[in-house]
Amino acid sequence: MTTARPRKRRAVYPGSFDPVTNGHMDVIERAIHIVDELVVGVAIATPKETTFPLKERVAMMKEVCRPYRSVRIEVFDKLLVDWAVANGIGIIVRGLRALTDFDYEFQMALTNRKLRPEVETVFLMAREDCACISSSSVKQIAALGGRVSNMVPACVARALKAKLGRKQ
């Protein structure tokens, strides 16, 4: 009798990561405890204009995820659920900061389920100290010369300083 090998639980944590924040890192650090492999999917196309080009967003994500052996960084340029299925991924991880996030993410999860019922969405609530952090707010604060070093990894604070020319 042969014993079936347990299937690896693979998940994708998608986003534009423009730039990656401590809130994103919180989700990554908690997600790796519930899956065997986490693919951080950096979106090529985003609805908003990005501050950092794709190459820089991927480089920052690779730098901050270097300590995590079970994390891989990949880019995607198609419908997320189709990309996930094509890559053998059955779980989408999403972070929630507030009720407004939940409303949007819940609708997206239901749509994804309609498109690809074999893909599950898992929501992770933000830690309290990360609940107010968003990439948009970080960029706005940095552009106005505010300190963001307590909201983003050190390499991101340096990249924001170089990109926006302000003290971080």
| Residues annotated as catalytic (active site), given as ranges | 24, 48, 97, 135
Please give the Cα distance from 74 to 58 (Å, whole number).
8
Please give the Cα distance from 106 to 122 (Å, whole number).
10
The pLDDT of residue 168? 44
Q: Which residues pair with 93 in a beta bridge?
A: 122
List per-residue pLDDT tens for the chain, 168 residues long: 556 666 789 999 999 999 999 999 999 999 999 999 999 999 997 778 899 999 999 999 999 999 999 999 999 999 999 999 999 999 999 999 988 889 999 999 999 999 999 999 999 998 999 898 999 999 999 999 899 999 999 999 999 989 886 544
CB 134 within 8 A of CB 97: yes
Q: What domains appear along the chain, each with residue ranges and CATH number?
A: 10-131 (3.40.50.620)
The pLDDT of residue 45? 79
The pLDDT of residue 75? 97
Please give the Cα distance from 164 to 168 (Å, whole number).
10
Verify cis geometry, omega within 30 degrees of 0, for the bond prior to 19: yes
